[in-house]
Structure formats: structure tokens, C-alpha cells
Amino acid sequence: DTEVTQTPKHLVMGMTNKKSLKCEQHMGHRAMYWYKQKAKKPPELMFVYSYEKLSINESVPSRFSPECPNSSLLNLHLHALQPEDSALYLCASSQGQPRLGETQYFGPGTRLLVL
């Protein structure tokens, strides 16, 4: 299995809603990442987990809350989002040494619309 899967594919939520994005991989990777990509812009790194510990938080607002319950699963909990948070949210994984610069494998993304 060489895939990173993300659910849901699409999500529409109001500004008062609470929702979660899910990312899963079964490649034995120990590093997982969340990126945000606005339309026609490059992806921007949000969070990095290495061995289930948060190692990088790129000053992301607290309305985004990541969680890594185990080495295969990465969640992004969303609460009180703003319309400008609408974007494609991409998850990625790599073998486990992010600082050494490994190949990252990306999921298809969740397209989020905040109304």
C-alpha cells in the first residue's frame, strides 16, 4: 500500500461548526504533515508530526488543532473557521526523518469551503 488517503474529499461548514479532517497511511511512515493550499497558490506547511510528536507548528491559528493518535493516522480538527480558511488541505507522509529531507507522499486533499 503506497497511498495516503484523506477523508472527506469535500467539506462545507459554517463558521460555528466543528469538523475534522482525517489522513491515513499504511506505508510505515513515521512523519506526517498538514499543508494548506489556496487556489492558484503553492502549498504552505502547517504542521509536522514526527513519531507522533508535533515537531513543527508554523504559527497556525488555534482554530486548527492537529492530532496524531498513532503513526498511521493524522487528524485536523477545525473549529470556528473563517471564510478565508477555505482551501485545499493536503496531508503528506515520509519515512520518519523530516530534517534529513525525505520524499514526501501526498494525499489527494480535502477541499474545504467555509460559509
Binding interface with other proteins (CB under 8 A)? 4, 6, 41-45, 56, 58, 88, 90, 92, 99-109, 111
| Nearer residue to other proteins within complex by CB, 44 or 67 | 44
* In the complex, least distance from residue 80 CB atom to other proteins, rounded to whole angstroms: 26
| Nearer residue to other proteins within complex by CB, 96 or 108 | 108
Reference 94, options 48, 41, 58, 42; nearest CA is 48
* In the complex, least distance from residue 82 CB atom to other proteins, rounded to whole angstroms: 22
| Nearer residue to other proteins within complex by CB, 67 or 106 | 106
* In the complex, least distance from residue 42 CB atom to other proteins, rounded to whole angstroms: 3
What is the three-state SS of 53-109?
A: EEEEECCCCCCEEEEEEECCEEEEEEECCCHHHCEEEEEEEECCCHHHCCCCEECCC
* In the complex, least distance from residue 30 CB atom to other proteins, rounded to whole angstroms: 17
Residue with cell 509536522: 48
What CA–CA distance (Å, rounded) separates 64 from 34? 11
